[in-house]
Amino acid sequence: MLQLRIELAEHDYRYHVLDAPVVPDAVYDRLYQELVELESRYPRLVSPDSPTQRVGAAPAAGFREVAHGLPMLSLDNAFSREDLENFDRRVQERLDSAGDLQYSAEPKLDGAAINLWFENGELVRAATRGDGRVGEDVTHNVRTIHSVPLRLRGSGVPRLLEVRGEIFMPREGFRRLNEAAQKAGEKPFANPRNAAAGSLRHLDPRLTASRPLALFAYGVGTVAEGSLPPRHTEVLDRLSDWGLPVAPEAELVTGVAGCLGYYARMLEKRAELAYDTDGVVFKVNDVDLQARLGTVARAPRWAVAYKFPAEEQLTTVESVHFQVGRTGVLTPVARLEPVFVGGATVSNATLHNLDELHRKDVRPGDTVIVRRAGDVIPEVMSVLLERRPPQTSPVRAPERCPVCSSPVLRVEGEAALRCTGGSACPAQRKEALRHFASRRALNIDGLGSQLIDQLVDTDLVHKPGDLFRLTTSQLQQLDRMGERSATKLLEAMSRSKATTLERFLYALGIPEVGEATSKALARHFVRLSALMTASAEEFAEVEDVGPIMAGHITAYFQAPHNQEVIQDLRALGVHWSEEARPDDAGTAERPLKGKTFVLTGTLAGMTREEATARIEALGGKVTSSVTAKTSYLVVGDKPGSKLAKAEKLGVEVLDEGQLGQSILGVSEK
């Protein structure tokens, strides 16, 4: 039985990973059946990593949440040569580098991100990306994918290894799947990405097993009791040696010129690839340099996705209407004759603002070129004037809100039209509640867009706090909402009350304040009470907050209505751990307040992210560049040019031991 498992695993690797089988299918089937028969006779000897155990789990009732060892980050996008050059320039500046850098160049797969945990070489868990920190456990489904090894090959595998990759559906498999669906009278999938994501999250692993899914590994997360090579391309080679498939088109390139050459080659062969790709990814190849560059918000500073040009199609404008957002901004939207573009059927496309609408002069009846910008947002690119029907007229800006009939105001110097109805406008309330409940805000699971529409339309919810006053009986009055669904939603709302200050700030929807700014505000002020009484000058002291944004934040917290909303939410039990700090917490708890640190080189006892988190928790600030205002330069192994600059400016230099003992209050041990 052991010999059969080894032999079958080798054949799986050669067939699904190397695409170089050495035996006919009939021979494989005979060996597989022999193992099945032996395992049926000796069930106590069945091993979890046996090829026969890929399928067979009963359908799941749902997916439990799984925390990733390290966050699964998104990527910033580049859409032009200028964007790519700016990315390279920012990297060079942060590293104080003058020469061309080496980048790992890889195709950007169009599938579903996956996180694989291996312990002692055995696959023990698989999870979706989720919100980047917590995903859904899809282990049973992933085990059915033949290109995912149940046990890693070779030697030198770390005891714990977190592998990041993409689950996708090859084009040929997608074609066969849709042909079978059409023959069975079923609705075909729109594109391979949707098919892969839907298959991965199906509750019945047996259905997932029937889908032609595949894996390409592209990186790692947590590594414990083991080591990996110092270059990303070498890491990919090591993963391949251990039996994990990686994109064969991955290359090592040098400088912007090398990146552009790779992009051009991949764009040319895009249609010939066996899988869908919507661009290429460039990563700084040196892993130590990646650590020095760090991350911002949800994306690493050391990687960028250079997207391919969006697909374009012709269609007709049926009408132009105005949508109202959560801040009251009216956005013109073209309602289109449905057209398939960029892998999806598009029936609406943004016109951005009134100036853009008039510049393009889009009118009902026009034939237009529409594209999915970045393969995501449908956009009207231009009008074919030679096809314009007679007797059309330009679209005029509405004088009143199309939803609440309140007057529409255009602020001088701005392109935006705004509804003056505020919270009295149902459209603004709906969008504000969607934002409040979204995954990166209060994260109220189950509170979807259609349910929010019903809650507002039935006058059950007017402000965020009303969500927490809802009862089971009220929810049961809504469409498709039974007692069980209502109870689950109320439980999710109750769970969402335990949050963080940065999530709470983001959920409030303060104008111009996104996730990164919310995090910076929370770290700078620590307590909500300090935020609500701060002046514009104090807000301007926060990193990346300029005078205009500071004015928006100050005005928000000074508005009586917003103060009432915040007080209402706090009274209803929305809380976070930072608020438990005593009101007089000052230098005793934030001894590093006013101190600025720069980290350089590789730290031995902690990661740069851990050191940054510790410094910021004590009130300090970590920046990337050494200046005369820098308080300390913390030096690890291979510090680079920042050390010389610090010595020239007279900045105090600390090694890792001094940082731990004198600054963070921890011993070297």
| CA 310/CA 374 separation, integer angstroms | 6
**Interatomic CA distance for residues 511 and 549, integer angstroms:** 8
What percentage of the chain carries pLDDT values higher than 70? 93
How confident is residue 400, by pLDDT bands cut at 50, 70 and 90? very high
CATH number of 501-580: 1.10.150.20
Least confident of 102-116, 308-322, 325-339: 308-322
Q: CATH top-level class for 2-51? A: mainly alpha
SS3 per-residue string spanning 27-66: HHHHHHHHHHHHHHHCHHHCCCCCHHHHCCCCCCCCCCEE
In one letter, which amino acid is 570? R
pLDDT surpassing 50 at residue 586: no
The pLDDT, as a whole number, for residue 237 is 94
Q: 309: which DSSP letter?
A: P
Of 43-57, 205-219, 338-352, 364-378, the range with the highest mean pLDDT is 205-219
The DSSP letter of residue 660 is I
Long-range (24+ apart) CB contacts under 8 A made by 334-342 are: 334/362, 334/368, 334/380, 336/368, 336/370, 339/313, 339/314, 339/315, 339/370, 340/313, 341/311, 341/312, 341/313, 341/370, 341/371, 341/372, 341/378, 342/310, 342/311, 342/371, 342/372, 342/375, 342/378
Q: Are 646 and 619 in contact (CB under 8 A)?
A: no
pLDDT digits (tens, 9 = 90+) for 323-360: 999 889 999 999 999 998 876 789 999 998 888 899 89
Most confident segment among 182-191, 237-246, 569-578: 237-246
User: CB of 617 within 8 A of CB of 592?
Assistant: no
> Can you read off the two tokens belonging to residue 451?
């349910």
pLDDT of residue 220: 96
pLDDT score, position 77: 86
Contacts of 285 (CB under 8 A, 6+ apart): 101, 102, 103, 104, 231, 232, 233, 252
Superfamily of domain 425-496: 5' to 3' exonuclease, C-terminal subdomain (1.10.150.20)
Residue type, 286: D
Q: What six digits make up the tokens of 4? A: 């059969």
Q: Which residues contact 494 (CB under 8 A, 6 or more apart)?
A: none
- 501-580 matches 425-496 in CATH topology: yes
Angle in degrees, 0-180, between the axes of helices 255-269 and 81-95, rounded to the nearest 10: 140
Residue among 308, 376, 343, 281 nearest 74 (CA): 281
Q: CATH classification of 312-388+395-418, choosing from 3.30.1490.110, 2.60.120.10, 2.40.50.140, 3.40.47.10? A: 2.40.50.140
Q: What is the DSSP string of 155-218?
A: S---SEEEEEEEEE--HHHHHHHHHHHHHTTPPPPSSHHHHHHHHHT-S-HHHHHTS--EEEEE
Lowest mean pLDDT among 120-124, 481-485, 663-667: 663-667
The span from the CA of 255 to the CA of 102, in Å, is 6
The domain limits of the chain are 2-51, 77-307, 312-388+395-418, 425-496, 501-580, 596-663
Distance of alpha carbon 424 from alpha carbon 421, whole angstroms? 5
Q: Does domain 77-307 have CATH number 3.40.50.1820?
A: no
Mean pLDDT within 662-669: 54
What is the CATH architecture of 596-663? 3-Layer(aba) Sandwich (3.40)
Maximum CA extent, the chain: 82
The pTM assigned to this predicted structure is 0.62
pLDDT on residue 491: 95
Name residue 103's beta-bridge partners. 253, 284
Which neighbouring-strand residues pair with 123?
118
620: CB partners within 8 A, 6+ apart: 592, 593, 595, 596, 597, 631
pLDDT given at position 81: 93
Question: Radius of gyration of the chain from Cα atoms?
Answer: 28
Q: What is the DSSP-derived secondary structure letter of residue 387?
A: G
User: What amino acid positions are annotated as catalytic residues?
Assistant: 108
Banded pLDDT at 27 (limits 50, 70, 90): confident
